[in-house]
């Protein structure tokens, strides 16, 4: 797929919406029918753009959404999405009235938090749907598993809390199967103490995209939280994830704004970290760390121009990056440079980009800034 050519922007990402349909369809087909699909759309849908991507995910058949905070949830509500929305992070006291008014599912991480949301709900004369998050070894949000029973007991008796979910989060589902199995064991032991009739009304979830590799249809889990995989990027090299054949949804492009010849010995960009070993033709591309190209890619990465790989020369700057186009004689002002994605038979993958940038795929996508225009490709384009 060739990149589009917006006339009013210097840097843009293209979002292939039909690829979202195909990715969600393959994931849903691989899941048992009773398992609900929780689409994670936090951080601007992993940089892909919300609400446009959220709308497409709903059309593709996801069951509900998960976001990081009340502000993200409010954005979904503002565009008319009435689906269930789960807040994944702890909720600040000042945010609780808005969370209640928006009808969100609130994650509880401590008894203090539960008591605060109970008081707020009572004052509003409302019931709040809540999920209890259990820390089984992540060491981040969630009630520590040894203390979870006390929180569960409180939630059961709080008149304004409607207990709807119990979940945990795996810290190394993409790398350490033994530790993931231990986290799963701790969680399942706690779940087994919940009476069967009560358990039947709970959304029980632990698995993210990486967790699908070890997900069992015979387990009591009835939901999965899918983020990276729906955007076409498997979080690990597991055979099951690879078998789903996810398609990358996002590509990242910019334009050449200047082409010039420089003599051998010329130093390029700040701090002269690159000195030309030969007389060279260079192109200045209108994209930098202010858009999402990290300085770690300096002198390591490449852009695609006319279907050829062109090495980054010197330090990536806020608004511009210099590339070597000596071997691309047709290079000219206005040409499209591809930072992520394909040109002709060449492709720069997110994995390759991350190796240059010393980052993880989630970070590479989420750090695409707001000045990078999102261009949405539909079935008709």
DSSP β-bridge partners for residue 376: 15
User: Could you tell me the CA-to-CA distances from 217 to 31, 34, 180, 220, 277 in Å, in that order?
Assistant: 8, 9, 17, 8, 59
Q: Are 187 and 168 in contact (CB under 8 A)?
A: yes
Active-site hit among 133, 260, 270, 274: 270
The Cβ of residue 5 has, within 10 Å, a number of other Cβ atoms equal to 11
Whether residue 10 contacts residue 255, with contact meaning beta carbons closer than 8 Å, is answered with yes
The pair of three-digit structure tokens given for residue 277, joined into one six-digit string: 């070993």
Of 37, 42, 167, 289, which residue is the catalytic one? 42
Q: Is 154 a known active-site residue?
A: no
Report the run of H or E that residue 349 belongs to, with start and end. none
Which helix (H) or strand (E) segment is 123 a member of? helix 111-124
Beta strands in the chain (DSSP E): 11-16, 36-40, 64-67, 85-87, 105-108, 128-135, 143-144, 161-168, 203-205, 223-226, 250-262, 267-268, 274-275, 280-285, 302-305, 308-313, 321-324, 336-343, 346-348, 373-377
DSSP 256-319: EEEEEEE-TT-EESGGG-EE-SS-EEEEEES--TTTT--GGGTTT-EEEETTEEEEEES---SS
Return phi, psi of residue 41, to 5°: -125, 25
42 is catalytic: yes
Q: Where are the beta strands (DSSP E) in 25-127?
A: 36-40, 64-67, 85-87, 105-108
Query: Tokens 């210099």 identify what position?
Result: 322
Q: What share of the chain is helix, strand, coil (3-state, %, to 5)?
A: 35, 25, 40
Active-site residue set: 42, 270
């Amino acid at each position: 797929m060739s990149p589009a050519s917006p006339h009013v922007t210097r840097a843009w990402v293209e979002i292939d919406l039909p690829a979202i349909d195909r990715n969600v369809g393959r994931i849903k087909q691989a899941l048992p029918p009773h398992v609900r699909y929780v689409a994670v759309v936090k951080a601007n849908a992993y940089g892909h753009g919300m609400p446009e991507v959220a709308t497409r995910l709903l059309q593709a058949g996801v069951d509900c959404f998960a976001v990081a905070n009340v502000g993200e949830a409010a954005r979904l509500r503002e565009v008319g999405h009435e689906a269930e929305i789960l807040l994944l992070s702890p909720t600040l006291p000042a945010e609780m009235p808005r969370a209640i008014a928006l009808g969100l599912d609130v994650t509880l991480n401590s008894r203090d938090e539960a008591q605060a949301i109970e008081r707020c709900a009572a004052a509003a004369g409302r019931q709040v749907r809540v999920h209890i998050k259990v820390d089984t070894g992540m060491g981040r949000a969630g009630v520590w598993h040894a203390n979870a029973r006390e929180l569960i007991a409180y939630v059961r008796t709080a008149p304004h809390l409607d207990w709807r979910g119990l979940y945990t989060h795996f810290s190394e589902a993409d790398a350490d199967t033994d530790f993931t199995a231990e986290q799963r064991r701790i969680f399942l032991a706690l779940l087994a103490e919940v009476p069967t009739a009560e358990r039947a009304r709970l959304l029980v979830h632990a698995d993210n995209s990486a967790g699908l590799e070890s997900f069992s249809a015979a387990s009591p889990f009835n939901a999965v939280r899918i983020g990276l995989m729906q955007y076409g990027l498997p979080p690990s090299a597991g055979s099951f994830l690879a078998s789903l054949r996810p398609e990358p949804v996002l590509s990242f492009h910019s334009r050449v704004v200047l082409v010039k010849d420089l003599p051998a010995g010329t130093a390029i960009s700040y701090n002269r970290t690159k000195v030309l070993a030969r007389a060279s033709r260079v192109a200045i591309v209108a994209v930098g760390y202010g858009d999402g190209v990290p300085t770690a890619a300096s002198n390591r990465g490449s852009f695609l121009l006319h279907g050829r790989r062109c090495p980054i020369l010197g330090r990536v700057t806020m608004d511009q990056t210099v590339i070597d186009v000596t071997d691309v004689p047709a290079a000219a002002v206005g040409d499209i440079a591809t930072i992520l994605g394909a040109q002709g038979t060449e492709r720069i993958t997110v994995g390759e980009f991350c190796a240059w940038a010393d980052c993880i795929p989630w970070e590479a996508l989420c750090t695409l800034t707001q000045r990078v225009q999102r261009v949405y490709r539909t079935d008709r384009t």
